[in-house]
Amino acid sequence: MADRLTGGDSSLLRRINAAVTLRALRDGQAVTLTQLVGDTGLSRPTVEGVIEGLIEAGLVAEVEQSQDSGRQRGRPARWFRFRAEAGHILGIEIGVHEIRVILADLTGRVLGSHAKSAAETLDPEERLTLARTTVAEVLRKAGVSRDSLWAVAVGSPGIVDREGTVKLGTAMPGWTGLDLGARLRRSFRCPVMIENDANLAAIAEHWQGAAVGKGDLVFVMAGLSPGAGSLINGRLHRGFGGAAGEIGALHLLGQEATPERLLSTTGKPLDPLDEAAVARVLRLAREGDQVAQVAMDRFLRRLVHDVAALVLALDPEIVVVGGWAAGLDGVLEPLRQQLELYCLRAPEVVLAALGEEVVAMGALRVALDTVEEQLFAVDSPGVSAR
């Protein structure tokens, strides 16, 4: 792809100067040429040249400043701003029960979002069609052209490899083996990234949720097929094969302790996709039903064990609990107690803050990373000393 900053001019220095200048403009405030010269450390003629190029590329606009301060005599100051509306990004969740799409500008400001519920029985074709329809609707409502998309990121349950193929996805029929990346890239001309849903939730909670400023975190998505995502030093830990955090399998190890069995009040396991049945058990337990309370206790003990395994392996600063466990009364206290018992420095344990949008927000952040890489990155292969 041609360099957006220099229109294909590959001069490294010119690229760096453009990135440095854009960085000085990225917070969205209009600034004067003189301020830019001060902020960037570049010479005035260099900044003038860079700005001209960025205006041509559509990334910077000159701003009419009506209330000129009058301090300046002679040549009036010229004001510029970053055109965040020059492009757009999408964060998408393709989930078992829902498709969700969030649209934002190049600074990540949300311009629109929409969710459609999906039947858990949809086959991949139907599910992808629903996703495309939801995207089209969000774009149409916001009056944004598909051509102005710079990056799209998509969250999906299951183990997803770096190219976007679902290596294992038991939550949705036909999902395992699906080349989700290739399928979605046909619908967009910009880069499309695919990522595991719990990984995106970890990213989102770190960006705008319960773990802002905490770079070592584990996000636990509690559900009938629980998963987890983790950041180490602020960066996603995917694992060698993209499967890090897939603790659901721990349930299988040597014991019949799947959530659908643990939460059953009838002796027969729940349907592994029937979240409504789970909600019923939770409600009953809250209302004082003893059988349901016993089932809840069993489930919580198991969840605590899974989270403890993650904590012992990774030693994070904070554990964020989401998925429907975020709606469970009393999931935090047993977790905290157990972790304090067995960890020297027990991590903070908090509930997720972002709610239903967490996965799509994480996807939006991944798309935004791609954009920022194109716009603001000064590092580039060959620049660093080794």
Q: Which range in 97-105, 203-211, 325-333, 338-346 contacts a second copy by CB under 8 A?
A: 338-346
| Closest distance of CB 247 from a second copy, Å | 5
| Closest distance of CB 241 from a second copy, Å | 4
Asked if 2 interacts with a second copy (CB under 8 A), we say: no
Which residue in 138, 222, 281, 314 binds a second copy (CB under 8 A)? 314
CB-neighbour burial class of residue 316 (10 A; exposed 0-12, middle 13-18, buried 19+)? buried
Q: Which range in 60-68, 86-94, 127-135, 314-322 contacts a second copy by CB under 8 A?
A: 314-322
Which residue in 246, 260, 357, 372 binds a second copy (CB under 8 A)? 246
| Closest distance of CB 42 from a second copy, Å | 14
Which residue in 254, 267, 288, 381 binds a second copy (CB under 8 A)? 254
Asked if 257 interacts with a second copy (CB under 8 A), we say: no
Q: Which of 78, 37, 39 is nearest to 60 (CA)?
A: 78
Near a second copy in 148-167, by CB under 8 A: 159, 167
| Closest distance of CB 290 from a second copy, Å | 22
Asked if 249 interacts with a second copy (CB under 8 A), we say: yes
| Closest distance of CB 377 from a second copy, Å | 8
CA triple 269-270-274, angle to 5 deg: 160
Task: Reduce the secondary structure of the chain to three states and give it as a string.
Answer: CCCCCCCCCCCHHHHHHHHHHHHHHCCCCCEEHHHHHHHHCCCHHHHHHHHHHHHHCCCEEEECCCCCCCCCCCCCCCEEEECHHHCEEEEEEECCCEEEEEEEECCCCEEEEEEEECCCCCCHHHHHHHHHHHHHHHHHHHCCCHHHEEEEEEEECCEECCCCEEEECCCCCCCCCCEHHHHHHCCCCCCEEEEEHHHHHHHHHHHHCCCCCCCCEEEEEECCCCEEEEEECCEECCCCCCCCCCHHHHHHCCCCCCHHHHCCCCCCCCCCCCHHHHHHHHHHHHCCCHHHHHHHHHHHHHHHHHHHHHHHHHCCCEEEEEEHHHHCCCCHHHHHHHHHHHCCCCCEEEECCCHHHHHHHHHHHHHHHHHHHHHHCCCCCCCCCC
Which residue in 177, 241, 330, 355 binds a second copy (CB under 8 A)? 241
Asked if 321 interacts with a second copy (CB under 8 A), we say: no
- Identify which of residues 136 and 313 has a Cβ nearer to a second copy in the complex: 313
Asked if 375 interacts with a second copy (CB under 8 A), we say: no
- Identify which of residues 10 and 233 has a Cβ nearer to a second copy in the complex: 233
Near a second copy in 3-62, by CB under 8 A: 16
Asked if 343 interacts with a second copy (CB under 8 A), we say: yes
Measured in degrees and rounded to the nearest 5, phi and psi for residue 58 equal 85, 10
- Identify which of residues 53 and 347 has a Cβ nearer to a second copy in the complex: 347
Asked if 349 interacts with a second copy (CB under 8 A), we say: no
Going residue by residue from 164 to 183, which x/- string records binding to a second copy, judged by CB under 8 A? Answer: ---xx---------------
Which residue in 105, 195, 197, 216 binds a second copy (CB under 8 A)? 216
Residues at the contact surface with a second copy, assessed by CB under 8 A: 16, 159, 167-168, 216, 228, 230, 232, 237-247, 249-250, 252-254, 301, 304-305, 308-310, 312-317, 338, 341-345, 347, 378-379, 383-386
